[in-house]
């Protein structure tokens, strides 16, 4: 039996992209879903394609709305098994051109939204002594090769740090609570066109990973395996190569 069978999973940013694909993948595996995003009509369409789900229109940049999302999930199903913080947004602007509001928007949309999710669901997971928190980051958080995404990369690096800190903090107290970090590279979604300032369509980028493939890898990794999920094996190799270069270590060292 697939480990997702019967599990209750909350997915934010579920109206499109990775979130929508993950919802459909988990539904095929028998999970029970609570889907959150700002657009009710888009959420309802994803729920329809997923065979039915609890739809909770939510602005995840507002703490009270994230707490309401948690409460709706618990009211519907009585418990939550996994919470996926997937909502986020990009930006197309080099560092020299960043304004205060650009940085504030990236930290609000990509860091604080996930923080609110983690803080909302942690009391429930403490009570149940198990669960999964998954934060969707980006390979750009560790290898910032797309300089037009400067503030986005920085916000995702902060998310990585927050995730790893929580993992260490809870390791002894709650050994059955998995804190997962998802690190995709370029994915064939409309992420690029929806970035602040516009930008290249991610679906046209050479080698962009099919979103359905990303969803399968994330669904496989929620319950077991490495807690850092690189959606392509070469992602980890790229990070290690980048770190060796920074440290002045030859590629064969």
> Is 152 an annotated catalytic residue?
yes
Read off the pLDDT of residues 171-204 as tens digits, 9 standing for 90 and up: 999 999 999 999 999 999 988 888 888 877 788 7
What is d(CA 71, CA 120) in angstroms, rounded to the nearest whole number? 9
Q: Return the number of other C-beta atoms located less than 10 Å from residue 166's C-beta.
A: 18
Q: Which helix (H) or strand (E) holds 131?
A: strand 131-136
Q: DSSP secondary structure string, 57-111? A: E--TTSHHHHHHHHHHHHHHHS--SEEEE-----B-B-GGG--HHHHHHHIIIII
What is d(CA 136, CA 157) in angstroms, rounded to the nearest whole number? 11
Residue of 125, 152, 191, 230 with catalytic role: 152
Asked if the structure places residue 100 within a domain, the reply is yes
Asked if the structure places residue 57 within a domain, the reply is yes
What value, to the nearest 5°, has the Cα angle with vertex 11 and ends 193 and 51? 100
What is d(CA 110, CA 141) in angstroms, rounded to the nearest whole number? 11
Burial 168-178 (b: 16+ CB within 10 A, else e): eebeeebeebb
Q: Give the neighbor-by-neighbor strand order of the sheet with 8-12.
A: 54-57, 32-37, 8-12, 82-85, 131-136, 177-183, 228-230
Asked if the structure places residue 35 within a domain, the reply is yes
Measured N-to-C along each axis, helices 150-170 and 113-128 cross at an angle, to the nearest 10 degrees, of: 20
Query: Quick one: pLDDT at residue 200?
Result: 78
Instruction: Report residue 60 as tokens.
Output: 């995840």
Overall number of domains in the chain = 1
Q: What is the CATH number of the domain that holds 174?
A: 3.40.50.720
Query: Quick one: pLDDT at residue 201?
Result: 75
Residue 253 has pLDDT above 60, yes or no: no
Poorest-confidence range of 160-164, 216-220, 226-230, 242-246? 242-246
Q: Given pLDDT bands bounded at 50, 70 and 90, which one contains residue 4? A: very high
Asked if the structure places residue 3 within a domain, the reply is no
Q: What is the mean pLDDT of the chain?
A: 95
Chain position carrying tokens 């980006």: 138
Asked if the structure places residue 17 within a domain, the reply is yes
Q: Which helix (H) or strand (E) holds 10?
A: strand 8-12
Q: DSSP secondary structure string, 173-229? A: T-TTEEEEEEE--SBSSSTTTTSBT----GGGSTTPBPHHHHHHHHHHHSSSS-SEE
Residue 72: partners with Cβ closer than 8 Å, 6 or more residues away: 34, 54, 56
Read off the pLDDT of residues 80-103 as tens digits, 9 standing for 90 and up: 999 999 999 999 999 999 999 999
What is d(CA 146, CA 70) in angstroms, rounded to the nearest whole number? 35
Asked if the structure places residue 253 within a domain, the reply is no
Asked if the structure places residue 252 within a domain, the reply is no
Range of the domain at 141: 8-247
Asked if the structure places residue 1 within a domain, the reply is no
Percentage of residues of the chain with pLDDT beyond 90? 88
Read off the pLDDT of residues 202-230 as tens digits, 9 standing for 90 and up: 887 888 899 999 999 999 999 999 999 99
């Amino acid at each position: 039996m697939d480990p997702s069978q019967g599990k209750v999973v909350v997915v934010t940013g579920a109206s499109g992209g990775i979130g929508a694909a993950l919802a459909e993948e988990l539904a095929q595996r028998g999970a029970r879903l609570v889907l959150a995003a700002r657009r009710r009509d888009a959420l309802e369409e994803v729920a329809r394609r997923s065979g039915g789900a609890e739809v909770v229109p939510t602005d995840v940049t507002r703490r009270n709305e994230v707490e309401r999302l948690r409460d709706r999930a618990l009211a519907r199903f009585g418990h939550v098994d996994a919470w996926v913080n997937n909502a986020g947004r990009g930006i197309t602007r080099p560092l020299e051109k960043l304004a205060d509001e650009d940085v504030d928007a990236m930290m609000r949309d990509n860091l604080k939204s996930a923080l609110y999710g983690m803080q909302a669901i942690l009391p429930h997971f403490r009570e149940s002594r198990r669960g999964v928190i998954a934060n969707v980051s980006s390979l750009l958080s560790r290898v910032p090769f797309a300089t037009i995404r400067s503030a986005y990369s920085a916000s995702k690096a902060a998310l990585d740090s927050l995730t790893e800190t929580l993992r260490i903090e809870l390791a002894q107290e709650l050994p059955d609570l998995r804190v997962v970090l998802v690190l995709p590279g370029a994915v064939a979604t409309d992420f690029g066109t929806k970035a602040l300032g516009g930008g290249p369509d991610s679906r046209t980028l050479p080698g962009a990973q099919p979103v359905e493939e990303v969803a399968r890898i994330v669904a496989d990794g929620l319950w077991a395996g490495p807690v850092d999920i690189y959606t392509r094996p070469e992602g980890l190799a790229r990070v290690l190569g980048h770190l060796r270069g920074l440290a002045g270590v030859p590629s064969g060292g």
